[in-house]
């Protein structure tokens, strides 16, 4: 089966490989990530992931297409990717010493079937000093990540604790995606076992 990941994110690619998929294509969407901001964060990520999936699936209807979208929210206020270092600084000050939610919408499409779900993980930051924030932004890690941090990188130094799926915070809820894939006749654990037996 031809599998397409509708994302340029190296983190999502790595997580899909960690799930046991060694052969898949990367075909990012061309359209802009525009959606109604009046939606709640969970509905917003679902809509954005669905749009990505539908766009790529329309061009490759024979393939199994996986798309995802992640955002950070504080009291339902959405924090996307920062547009500048000043924007990143504002986001990190907002997250400092507080609990926030990370939402990822994931959509899978194949053969006319489409399934969209979302995962939510709560993350608590320790209190950050101005110096902490300046140093973290200087690493360059903030600029391409929702909420201006990456938990899998130096951002782990900012996180006091999480409740829920760690991989969801990285950008792909692998447990939920695995369950969705089984409904399409693709069982990641069965594929992993097959690879082990062939090795």
The per-residue pLDDT for 31 is 64
- 197 pLDDT higher than 90: no
Give catalytic residues, as residue numbers. Answer: 69
Q: Which pLDDT score is estimated for 85?
A: 97
Where is pLDDT greater, at 22 or 159?
Answer: 159
> Confidence class of residue 34 from pLDDT cuts 50, 70 and 90?
low
Distance CA 199, CA 196 (A): 5
- Evaluate if residue 35 carries a pLDDT over 80: no
For residue 22, name the pLDDT band (cuts at 50, 70, 90): confident
pLDDT of residue 76: 85
Per-domain residue ranges for the chain?
3-198
pLDDT of residue 1: 87
Q: Is the pLDDT of residue 30 over 90?
A: no
Confidence of residue 32 (pLDDT cuts 50, 70, 90): low
Q: What is the mean pLDDT of residues 101-129?
A: 97
| pTM summary value | 0.92
What percentage of residues in the chain have a pLDDT greater than 70? 96
Supply the pLDDT for residue 36. 64
Query: How do residues 44-81 score in pLDDT, each as one tens digit?
Result: 999 999 999 999 999 999 999 999 999 999 998 999 89
C-alpha–C-alpha distance, residues 25 and 7, integer Å: 10
Report how far residue 53's alpha carbon sits from residue 159's, in angstroms, rounded to the nearest whole number.
Answer: 31
List Cβ neighbours of 166 (8 Å cut-off, separation of 6 or more). Answer: 121, 151
CATH of domain 3-198: 3.90.950.10
* For range 174-191, the mean pLDDT: 93
**CA–CA distance, 176 with 180 (Å, rounded to integer):** 6
């Amino acid at each position: 089966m031809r599998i397409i990941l509708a994302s340029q994110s190296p983190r999502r690619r790595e997580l899909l490989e960690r799930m046991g998929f060694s052969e898949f294509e990367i075909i990012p969407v061309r359209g802009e990530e525009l959606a109604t901001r009046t939606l709640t964060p969970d509905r917003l990520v679902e809509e954005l992931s669905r749009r990505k999936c539908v766009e790529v699936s329309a061009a490759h209807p024979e393939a199994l297409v996986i798309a995802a979208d992640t955002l950070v929210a504080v009291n339902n206020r959405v924090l996307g990717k920062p547009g500048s270092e000043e924007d990143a600084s504002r986001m990190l000050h907002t997250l400092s010493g507080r609990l926030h939610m990370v939402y990822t919408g994931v959509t899978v499409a194949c053969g006319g079937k489409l399934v969209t779900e979302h995962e939510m993980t709560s993350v608590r930051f320790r209190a950050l000093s101005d110096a902490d924030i300046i140093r973290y932004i200087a690493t360059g890690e903030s600029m391409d990540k929702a909420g201006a941090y990456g938990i899998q990188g130096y951002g782990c130094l900012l996180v006091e604790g999480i409740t829920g799926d760690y991989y969801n915070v990285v950008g792909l809820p692998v447990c939920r995606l695995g369950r969705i894939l089984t409904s399409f006749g693709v069982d990641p654990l069965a594929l992993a076992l097959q690879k082990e037996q062939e090795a």
